[in-house]
A and B are shown apart, each in its own frame.
Chain A
Amino acid sequence: MSGPYDAPLAEVATRTLEELCFFFAMPLLNDEQREAPADAAMSVRFRGPMSGQLVVRFAGGLLPMLATNMLGDADGSPSMQRDALGEVANVVCGHLLPIIGGASDVFALDAAQPTVVLEHSGRTPDAMVQLGLEDHGRADLILFLDAA
């Protein structure tokens, strides 16, 4: 089922992955992408007219390539790889909020933090997008809004 925030999240995520990370993200996943084990997830909390958090999770062993693409040379230490993933979350969140909120709304974004996504926590995301990366990896983008 697709909610009102899925399309803008997919659009922002696809553009960010392309422009910031030089990944061409595909909305249709092959079996390998769909079943790729998760590597790490980073979340950004935001507060303003609406509050919540945006989670970006990479799967399929692509974190070294993410860091390489962003830094332009070495694939970086594990902490730099997590930092790179956090920056992806930060940029996606910063571009998504004016679209789902409004350009006149002011939001405060916290620093990106490592997180674990509990698939069966009982909490339903307000938007979730999965994008295929390379031929074996995946990015999951999950938006949770706090209850008003």
Chain B
Amino acid sequence: MALNVLVTDDSAVMRAMIIKTLRMCGVELGDVLHASNGAEALAVLDDQWVDLALVDINMPVMNGLELLEAIAQRDYGGGMRTIVVSTEGSDPRIAKVRSYGAEFVRKPFTPEELRAAVVRVTGVAA
């Protein structure tokens, strides 16, 4: 099953690294969408079906936690899964991420770590 993915990170290099890593891991990708902050991500989500959102925390305009809160308050059909990919090392912040039902992967990540998180949240084995 090909996944439509939305990668939200203010670093274009990190977005490219995440997408490249997903492809390397054998994750079958459908549409690959980009956003550089939470507000841009919401605009994409309002317009397109996304199966998997990969979200940074520290971003300008709207950060990742604000985005998770906004997603929780909207109806995207309940099918979208979220992985937060961040340098965050604060236990309370990571607990907050998990409280939204999101997986957490810390940067820098290995392909195996990212793949395992994708399998856990989507149930799709790459």
Contact = CB atoms under 8 A, between A and B. Distances in A.
B11 A86 contact: yes
Interface residues on A, range: 20 to 34
- Per DSSP, are chain B's interface residues mostly helix, strand or loop, or mixed? loop
B77 interface: no
B90 interface: yes
Nearest to A104: B91
A8 interface: no
A93 interface: yes
A20 B58 contact: no
Contacts of A86: 11
B91 A87 contact: no
Contact of A80 (B13, B87, B89, B92): B13
B120 interface: no
B60 A71 contact: no
Interface stretch (B14-22, B26-34, B47-55): B14-22
The size bracket of the interface on B is 20 to 34
A70 B13 contact: yes
Contacts of B90: 98, 103-107
B58 to A, nearest CB: 4
Interface string A66-89: 010011100010001001101100
Given A76-B13, A80-B12, A111-B58, A94 B91 contact: no
Contacts of A65: none
Interface core residue of A86, A103, A111 (most chain B CB under 10 Å): A111
Contacts of A111: 10, 58-60
B13 A87 contact: yes
Interface of A: 16, 19-20, 67, 70-72, 76, 80, 83-84, 86-87, 90-91, 93-95, 97-98, 103-112
